Amino acid sequence: MSDADKPALKPANDNPWYCLATMHGEQAAEFDEELASKNRLAWNRWISTDLSDEERASLVKNGFPEPQLAPMSAEEKSAFCRAFADRIGRETDSPPEPTEKCDFTFTHFDRWVSFDGFLFRKHTDFGSATFSHIAELSATFCGRASFYSVTFSDAYFGSATFSDSINFNSATFTRDADFTSATFSGDAFFSSAKFSGEGDFSSAKFFGDAVFQWAEFGGFATFSSAMFLSFLTFLNARFKTITAFDNADFRTNVPDFRGATMHEGTEWHGAIWPTPPPDSESAQNQVYAYERLKQEMERLKKHEDEQLFFRKELRARRGTESLLSAARLLNFLYWVLSDYGQSIGRPLIWLFGLFTIGGAVFYAMNPNMPSAALRLEAVPHAAALSFGYIFPFIPITHEIISAIPVAGLSWAEKIVGVAQSVLGTPLLFLLGLALRNRFRMR
């Protein structure tokens, strides 16, 4: 539907659902908490009129205040209907049925709106509505909810609960959007949404797919400590300022940032990443996701993050290779020996083990040890020989080897020495690579 074909916005007071939500009156310039509480109680008691005992018990178990779900008596229903008729100024009209879809489409909310604590039992549709003032929507949405193409000023969905799918596609947040600690049990769609102010999803929980493709974050975007337990995509999204994913939980899937443009102030510290998957198809998807993250961090000159995603990309690639292939074996050795060129400690440990084993072999094979004193003197002899084979490029090792009667060594000792030289060379290379990466020497 083009903009020209869209219906004109209706005043909020022409919408029966809004009148039901403001039974005791609308908010003025200064927020009235007592008025908000009365409106919340009236709405929830009416909406819960036809709840089954099981539905009511489930809501109470999940923290919904039980008094707000108390069934209405016949007298209370009659009084409620009269009050609603007074609210809208038409004596014959009745409140919308609780089992109907809550329809707020093409409605203009021109003042502070509070739906905090409201129960939206069925499908709720705010499509193409406009909130010109603060919108408080920390509510419980039991059915599907649509905010498609809605324009918000300040939007507060903190601690809101969405039990079904939620649609914010093409929504515009002209100021701040607060989704802190919100729970998305179904799929959450934010495709082409525009966040001009701060977009705060910290500590939010996404149990279904979270789709932010083509979304634009013009202000500070934070997903700190958010939990993503299904597919997450920021395909072609744009982040124009600092973005925080610190301590975010991606343990199920790697977020897809292909085509996205990220800001140099993107923070990843403390994030939890998924384990390598067992099947090659999932492993390949991880490769694509990590590859893109590595490329973007390289563009932003964030060396440590680039190396982090490079390691994870290589680890994922191992899962795409056949079990007995040479590529898989080399990948595994690269990880075990040096954590893909990032660990200084691993090559040092392997070098120390190589030095110790070699020295022990040289000591055990020394034929000139008739007495305890000579056996003790043979220790530095064996250690020096082991050191010399591992570090042949150090000038002093030439003198060490020359001072030792190599010709008198057994074939077994010579084989051990050659093995030390062969194995020591790649370990020394991996150690140098880790030092280079650690201190960013390019």
- Along the chain (442 residues), what's the average pLDDT of each consecutive run of 10 residues? 72 95 92 95 93 90 90 91 88 82 96 96 95 96 96 96 97 97 97 97 97 97 96 96 96 94 94 91 94 94 90 91 86 83 84 82 64 54 73 59 53 75 81 76 46
Give the largest CA-CA distance in the chain.
117
For residue 235, report the phi and psi dihedrals to the nearest 5 degrees.
-55, 125
Structure tokens at 314: 């290589």
Q: Do 72 and 80 contact (CB within 8 A), yes or no?
A: yes
Strands (E), 259-395: 266-267
- Look at residue 15 in the predicted model and tell me its pLDDT: 95
**Six-digit token string for 39:** 């409106």
At 440 the pLDDT is 65
The answer to whether the beta carbons of residues 192 and 215 sit under 8 Å apart is yes
pLDDT score, position 278: 84
The residue behind tokens 């492993």 is 283
Quote the pLDDT of residue 395.
56
For the CA atoms of 158, 160, 164, 169, what is the dihedral angle to 10 degrees?
A: -30
d(CA 392, CA 167): 66
Cα–Cα distances (Å) from 321 to 243, 268, 273, 290, 313, in that order, read 34, 29, 21, 17, 13
φ and ψ of 382, to 5 deg: -70, -40
State the amino acid at position 366 in one-letter form: N
pTM of the model: 0.83
Amino acid letter, residue 286:
Q
Torsion sign, CA atoms 18, 24, 26, 32: negative
With vertex at residue 373, the alpha carbon angle to CA 372 and CA 374, rounded to the nearest 5 degrees, is 90
Q: Which two tokens stand for residue 169?
A: 């596609």
Check residue 373 and give its pLDDT. Answer: 42
**Structure-block tokens of residue 361:** 């072999």
**Kind plus residue range of the DSSP H or E element containing 332:** helix 326-338
